[in-house]
Amino acid sequence: MTAAATTPSREDLLVQMRQIVGASHVLTDEQGTRRFRKGHRTGEGNVLAVVRPGSLLEQWRILQAAVAADRIVIMQAANTGLTGGSTPDGDDYDREIVLISTLRVSGVQLINDGQQVVCLPGATLDRLEQALAPLNREPHSVIGSSCIGASVLGGICNNSGGALVRRGPAYTELALYAQVKDDGSLELVNHLGIELGDSPEEILTRLQQGDYSPQQVRNEATAKASDARYGEHVRDVDADTPARFNADPSRLFEASGSAGKLCLFAVRLDTFPKEPSTVFYIGSNDPHDLTEVRRHLLARLPRLPIAGEYIHRTAFDIGEKYGKDTFLVIDKFGTSRVPAAFAMKSRVDGFFERFGLRGVTDKVIQALMNLLPSHLPARMREYRDRFEHHLLVRVSNDTLEQTRAFLAEFFAGSDSGAYFECDAEEGRKAFLHRFAVAGAAIRYREAHRSSVEDILALDIALRRNDRDWVETLPDEMEEQIIHKLYYGHFFCHVFHQDYIVKKGNDPIAMEHRMWALLDERRAEYPAEHNVGHLYVAKPALAGFYRELDPTNSFNPGIGHTSKKKHWGDCC
């Protein structure tokens, strides 16, 4: 690739960036950049450099340098996404890539007596949970991605959904971001609703230091810091459309759903009271039982359930065996240790891959896990043997009696299903197991490379009134699959479907056939992981990306759009 004559050379740009953040935070060697260039589940490509700014002002100056040098910018926080949306994808870009990793720019600032927060680019959901715990409040998402260190801003960029039924997709209309305009100039836009000054340098420095008073925080009713509409939306169980999906135009607003087409410096979000709750564990061999439970609890409870998570028996089994280490690390050490463990694993894997040895850590860890007994409560294991379909329901205790009475009546004398009320330990472990299922297919693939071609992972949103939610595949497709893992956010009708594909079959061709089947079911996809580099962005979403980034300087190629400057012939 030849840089334009009027732009800095590769070496000149590297020198400039090292002067801004320090040489140790500009990574260029293959080993040092690997864990940033390679997606958690998919996606990988080359970069000119990975730059790790230590402040908002350094992030701004690196961005200025990269844009002035006519390089592509990919913003990345925790790199926990499942569709490769914050890494390069291939090496067919028309400009070199500067990947800006924001994890060093951490910070959570409580405002409005903790009813809202301002989160900086490196803030993780785990760290936000810790900051809010003394106030007996919690963030938008408290289960799932927070356990592997996902960033708050990453959730906003992807309209991530999560497991909490009342709160819907991550959403805000209050953000501080930089945008490359039509003429190629860089602009800092302060829509945080906080008075921080006029120049980028003043705004970013004061925000970093928390240098603003409560009087400088504006609370305008028209600017939302969460999706307050979702509770009413999800209750409409007879609606002929999905409750939530990434391309929903009503939830695309500046930072929200931007998928890296802006450079975010901060977002402002609502927080929520933490409530005493109880978990019910439901098992059934008739999926219609779970349908009726879902419809009743959504439509008839005086307050919405907190969460309703589905696990199919096969997903239960794969998660129990191949997600055991994730479960045990979180169970014994908490979520805060997991990001460091993932980073260490990536470094070790990178070392062995230089010698052509792939998946060494996965194989070693799995061999150790196979020596350990089951870590799951006895009643969960019993239900696994009895029932194909499993549903975990968490309700706030102010609706406990109504839920208990309904389930007792519904399953009285039932031949197909049953339930039990979990104690605190069982409830905690049931939801932790549901989380461990989500990464288990990756471990299975690495442990069985000789028989597995790859994983095909879909996240889909079914219509709210769809009673036939169990998938039926054509026989010829079934023959190409070793295991199907079905799990998801059942009350929102959002399902994660991981297919472990037999060696010698084409996962991409299979995925395209899956898309056709989903179109026939009038499902929307992706539901909450965003398009990344796996899915095709639908016209409304592609148009939103182009509106945010008219020169295609940020994260080109997302959603199978153009990777070329000014979008080439795309859209």
Beta strand residue intervals within 142-211, DSSP E? 175-180, 186-191
The reply to whether 568 sits in an annotated binding site is: no
The reply to whether 259 sits in an annotated binding site is: yes
Which residues have C-beta within 8 Å of that of residue 199, sequence separation ≥ 6? none
Question: What is the rounded end-to-end Cα distance, in angstroms, of the chain?
Answer: 25
Strand partners, 454: 501
The reply to whether 264 sits in an annotated binding site is: yes
Distance between CA 71 and CA 517 in Å, rounded? Answer: 39
The reply to whether 79 sits in an annotated binding site is: yes
DSSP state of 119: E
**Tokens (6 digits) for 106:** 């951490």
> Residue 410's CB: how many other CB atoms inside 10 A?
15
Q: In 3D, which of 541, 452, 546 has the Cα closest to residue 252? A: 541
The reply to whether 80 sits in an annotated binding site is: yes
The reply to whether 144 sits in an annotated binding site is: yes
Which residues have C-beta within 8 Å of that of residue 441, sequence separation ≥ 6? 318, 322, 455, 457, 483, 485, 498, 500
Distance between CA 37 and CA 90 in Å, rounded? Answer: 10
**Tokens (6 digits) for 567:** 């979008």
Strand partners, 494: 461, 489
Angstrom distances, CA of residue 375 to CA of 357, 370, 521: 30, 11, 37
Q: What angle do CA 77, 78, 82 make, to 5 degrees?
A: 110
Burial per residue of 46-58, b for 16 or more beta-carbon CB atoms within 10 angstroms, e otherwise:
ebbbbbbbebbbb
The reply to whether 185 sits in an annotated binding site is: no
Distance between CA 347 and CA 43 in Å, rounded? Answer: 17
Distance between CA 564 and CA 93 in Å, rounded? Answer: 7
Strand partners, 486: 497
Q: In 3D, which of 257, 264, 255 has the Cα closest to residue 76? A: 264
Annotated binding-site ranges: 77-81, 85-86, 144, 151, 161, 259, 264
Annotated binding-site ranges for FAD: 77-81, 85-86, 144, 151, 161, 259, 264
